[in-house]
Structure 1
C-alpha cells in the first residue's frame, strides 16, 4: 500500500466513524423511544420482559389496519397492530391521541409531550383497542 493511500485511510476512517455514530436513530425497540417519535408496544410496561413487538411513528396514522409490529431486531413480524396496543410513549413536543376507531373516531386517550402509559387498560382507549393515531404537531 502506498503511503498516500495509507494516510487517506487513516484520515477518512475516523471521520466516517463519527458520521455513522451521530446519525439519528430511526426506531426504538427494547422499551426505548427516541426523541421525536411516538412509540407503541404490544406488551405492558413498554415490552419490558416480554416479546418485543413495537412500532414508532412520526406522523398521524388514520388506520392501523395496514400496519405490522416490528421485532426487537427491526424485522417485520407480519403481526397486525390494529387493536393490539397495550402501552405507548410520546417523545414528540406536542400531545398525541390514540383513537379506538380508524379516522380518529370513538373512545380516545391523549398523552402529553414526554409522557407514556405502560398499561392502557385504565384509560378511555383501553387495552388492545387503538386503531388510529393523531399527532397534534402542526
Structure 2
C-alpha cells in the first residue's frame, strides 16, 4: 500500500467520528446538544464530552466520553462546565434530576463556555430538557 493511501485513511479516520456525533476538542455537530467537562468547550483541558438528542432526566447514570471516543467511566452528574446547542430548539440544563432546581436555557445555535456565570452554575447540571415538540 502506498504511503499516500495510508495517510489518507488515517486522516479520514480522524475526521469521521465513530458512534458519537460530538467530537473531542469542543466540536458539536448539527442536531446535537453537547456537554463538556471543561470550560470553553474543553479547550486546552482534559477532553471529556458527551452529546444528546433526547431529554435525560438524570445524568448520574451517564458517563463522559474521552478524546478517543472511549468511555471515561466518570459520571456526568454535577460535572458540566460548558455546553453547546445545535439541536434546532431550546434546551434547558437543570441543577437536579427530573428537571428541578436552578436552570439555564440555551437557544438553538448557542453555546456557553463558562456555565459558572449563569443560573445553573459550574458543575451543577444533573438533567437536561430538550424542547423540540
- TM class by shorter-chain length? 0.7 to 0.9
Of the three residues 68, 71, 83, the one matched with 1:88 is 83
Residue 99 of structure 2 is matched in structure 1 by 104
Q: 1:1-138 counterparts in 2 under 5 A?
A: 26-138=21-133
Distance 1:80 1:25 in 2: 17
CA distance in 1 between counterparts of 2:32 and 2:19 reads 12
Rg bigger for which structure? 1
User: What CA distance in whole angstroms lies between the structure 1 residues aligned with 2:52 and 2:19?
Assistant: 15
- How many correspondences in the alignment? 118
- Say if 2:21 and 2:28, in contact at 8 Å, map to a contact too: no
CA spacing shift, 1:136–1:126, aligned 2, 3 Å: same
Give the distance between the partners of 1:26 and 1:117, measured in 2 at CA.
19
CA distance in 1, matches of 2:44, 2:34: 17
Structure 1: 5+ residue stretches without partners: 1-20
Would the aligned equivalents of 1:87 and 1:117 in 2 still touch at CA under 8 Å?
yes
Contact 2:84/2:112 (<8 A) preserved: yes
In the TM superposition, what is the alpha-carbon distance from 1:95 to its structure 2 partner? 0.3
User: CA 1:96 to 1:83, structure 2 compared with 1: closer, same or farther past 3 Å?
Assistant: same
Q: Alpha carbon RMSD of aligned pairs, Å?
A: 1.8
Q: Unaligned regions of 5+ residues in structure 2, if any?
A: 1-15
Query: How far apart, CA to CA, are the structure 1 residues paired with 2:19 and 2:131?
Result: 22
Q: Aligned in 2, Cα 1:24/1:73: closer, same or farther, shift over 3 Å?
A: closer
